[in-house]
């Protein structure tokens, strides 16, 4: 419930829009009930007038029926428009809010989560929260307000009928939905968890397809994904059956309420207390009043999924970043790198990765970091970028501790070229402008020329508008690597971090990348991590990490 209250607090900017949607839902429900009750009264009155039992003024109720029909249609349209608009606005705000909470957590606090699980929280779990307002909160509040109004009118006509309808509404609108929510709680939690598991398994299958084929494990992974899908379908089927059963019980409660009211009203009619046309009106009103709570059983069947989705989102969003950087800081005047007696471990119970490490890279110099895998080379790069904090000692850029620099300053002064170049499924132009949104085409072509990629891009039919595909699959590994170098040229960052920049490239692409990097690192403070010999031509000195 704390998670749902947190969700309501995020919805505060749209509270009046949400309240308007609930108000329109009340208008729809009351107009429907009134229309059916008045229609029943009018038909019965016409029949009685036909046999001379009463005198009827025809035009006023006929006009009221037409007016209610128009009001119901118009209010229903506005209600759909307002409630869906409020829901989509809430989801858009929530998605941005969640991403803003995730960004400071990466990569340190997110390393324990699978990529597919994070993606499931960002997409499927947030999408599941559309149930909260649209299918749970708004129908429940509108049903409560409408029920009170209906019972008040019925009590004015017949207290006995009001009591019967109150019991019926309590059964159909409270007891049955709560029972449905209780029965679907476990399956709702399972649905949210299985969605994340399927997302993670699908990601593993797609991204690791090559490795799975080599290992002969594609069928096993596909079978695992199929098993998860079957479990998800079973959980969703249980929710659907339970929700449908709840709706049937609510409808049955409405029929029983009308039957009990019929018994009561027939007796009152024989006693001369209530006219025949009023009896029909009250019976139709009792029958129609079930609409006020008809949607609740199905809605509460989704409560388990909604609650679990909210828990998964807020449990991740409330994690504390490994490093909390200041919001503002000064730009360093110089850009030399210094490690001063740095001791680093990734968790208190884990072994030391760096033990009292000290070194300095003068501004404009390139230091190559060498050593076996696990020696701490990538850890050094992570510390410089402010992703982790050291246990002892300090990491400084231009005499300023990294943890005293703001995230904005760090991203401006550091550019990274690694063995994995992350490209969005967009054009080459859009991928380059990530680091310089205001760069014109001339600046983009200059950066591509410096990265030895301009001629190849010009050869593409669409040029800068060429789509690179998902994760850059339409480009070769060397071309993707040189786009990363072009980004570094566009950023004009004074500190360059090269993480295995030629890993996985053939000889031709290695030469092209190295030629581009020679230009990139001129006058820049550079750290080079490599296992290969060729990139060492960039280095002014070497630091070998052992043990």
pLDDT at 269 over 70: no
Distance CA 458, CA 466 (A): 10
pLDDT of 310 reads 85
Span 288-304, mean pLDDT? 85
Domain with CATH 1.20.1560.10 in the chain: 2-317
- Listed residue (201, 200, 198) closest to 233, CA to CA: 198
> pLDDT digit string (tens) for 373-423?
888 888 899 999 988 888 899 999 999 999 999 988 998 999 998 888 888
- What are 145's two structure tokens? 């307000």
pLDDT at 15 over 60: yes
User: What does CATH list as the number for 2-317?
Assistant: 1.20.1560.10
DSSP assignments along 97-116, one per residue: HHHHHHGGGTTTTTTTS-HH
The residue ranking higher by pLDDT, 11 or 536, is 536
pLDDT at 17 over 90: no
In the predicted model, what is the mean pLDDT of the chain? 86
Distance CA 14, CA 4 (A): 16
CATH fold group of domain 337-544: Rossmann fold (3.40.50)
Residue 56 — pLDDT band, cuts 50, 70, 90?
low
pLDDT at 128 over 90: no
Identify which of 296-300, 364-368, 417-421, 472-476 has the greatest average pLDDT: 364-368
Q: Is 270 exposed, middle or buried (0-12, 13-18, 19+ CB in 10 A)?
A: exposed
Span 224-252, mean pLDDT? 90
Domain with CATH 3.40.50.300 in the chain: 337-544
Distance CA 438, CA 426 (A): 17
pLDDT of 52 reads 67
Residue 23 — pLDDT band, cuts 50, 70, 90?
very high
pLDDT at 43 over 70: yes
The residue ranking higher by pLDDT, 51 or 142, is 142
pLDDT at 271 over 60: no
Phi-psi label, residue 301: left if phi above 0, alpha if psi -120 to 50, beta otherwise? alpha
CA 351 from chain center: how many Å?
Answer: 36
pLDDT at 357 over 60: yes
């Amino acid at each position: 419930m704390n998670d749902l209250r947190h969700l309501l607090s995020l919805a505060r900017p749209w509270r009046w829009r949400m309240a308007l949607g609930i108000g329109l839902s009340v208008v729809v429900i009351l107009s429907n009930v009134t229309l059916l009750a008045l229609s029943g009264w009018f038909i019965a009155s016409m029949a009685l007038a036909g046999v001379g039992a009463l005198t009827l003024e025809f035009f006023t109720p006929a006009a009221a029926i037409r007016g209610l029909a128009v009001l119901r249609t118009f209010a229903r349209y506005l209600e759909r428009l307002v409630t869906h608009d409020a829901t989509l606005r809430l989801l858009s705000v929530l998605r941005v809010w969640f991403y803003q909470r995730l960004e400071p957590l990466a990569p340190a606090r997110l390393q324990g989560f699978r990529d597919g699980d994070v993606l499931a929280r960002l997409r499927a779990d947030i999408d599941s929260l559309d149930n909260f307002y649209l299918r749970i909160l708004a129908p429940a509040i509108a049903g409560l307000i409408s029920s009170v109004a209906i019972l008040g009118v019925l009590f004015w006509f017949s207290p006995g009928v009001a009591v019967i309808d109150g019991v019926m509404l309590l059964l159909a609108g409270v007891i049955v939905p709560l029972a449905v929510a209780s029965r679907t709680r476990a399956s709702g939690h399972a649905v949210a968890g299985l969605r994340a598991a399927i997302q993670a398994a699908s990601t593993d299958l797609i991204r690791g397809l090559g490795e799975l084929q080599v290992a002969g494990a594609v069928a096993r992974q596909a079978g695992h994904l199929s098993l998860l899908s079957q479990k998800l379908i079973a959980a969703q089927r249980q929710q659907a059956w339970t929700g449908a059963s709840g709706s049937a019980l609510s409808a049955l409660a409405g029929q029983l309420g009308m039957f009990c009211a019929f018994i009561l009203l027939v007796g009152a009619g024989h006693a001369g207390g209530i006219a025949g046309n009023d009896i029909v009106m009250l019976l139709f009103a009792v029958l129609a009043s079930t609409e006020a709570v008809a949607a609740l059983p199905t809605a509460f069947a989704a409560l388990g999924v909604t609650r679990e989705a909210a828990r998964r989102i807020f449990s991740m969003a409330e994690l504390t970043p490994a490093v909390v950087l200041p919001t503002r800081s000064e730009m360093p005047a110089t850009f030399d790198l210094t490690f001063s007696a740095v001791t680093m471990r990734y968790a208190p119970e884990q072994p030391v990765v760096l033990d009292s490490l000290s070194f300095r890279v003068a501004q404009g110099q390139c230091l190559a970091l060498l050593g076996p895998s696990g020696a701490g080379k990538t850890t050094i790069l992570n510390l410089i970028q402010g992703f982790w904090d050291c246990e002892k000692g300090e990491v400084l850029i231009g005499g300023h501790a990294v943890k005293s620099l703001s995230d904005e300053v760090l991203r401006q002064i550091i550019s990274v070229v690694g063995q994995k170049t992350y490209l969005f499924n967009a054009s080459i132009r859009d991928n380059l402008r990530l680091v310089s949104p205001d760069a014109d085409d001339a600046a983009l072509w200059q950066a591509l020329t410096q990265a030895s990629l301009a001629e190849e891009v010009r050869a593409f039919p669409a040029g800068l508008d060429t789509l690179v595909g998902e994760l850059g699959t339409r480009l070769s590994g060397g071309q993707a690597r040189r786009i990363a170098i072009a980004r570094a040229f566009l950023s004009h960052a004074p500190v360059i971090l090269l993480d295995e920049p030629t890993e996985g490239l053939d000889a031709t692409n290695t030469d092209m990348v190295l030629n581009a990097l020679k230009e990139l690192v001129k006058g820049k403070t550079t750290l080079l991590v490599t296992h290969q010999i060729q990139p060492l031509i960039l280095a002014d000195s070497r630091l070998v990490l052992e043990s």
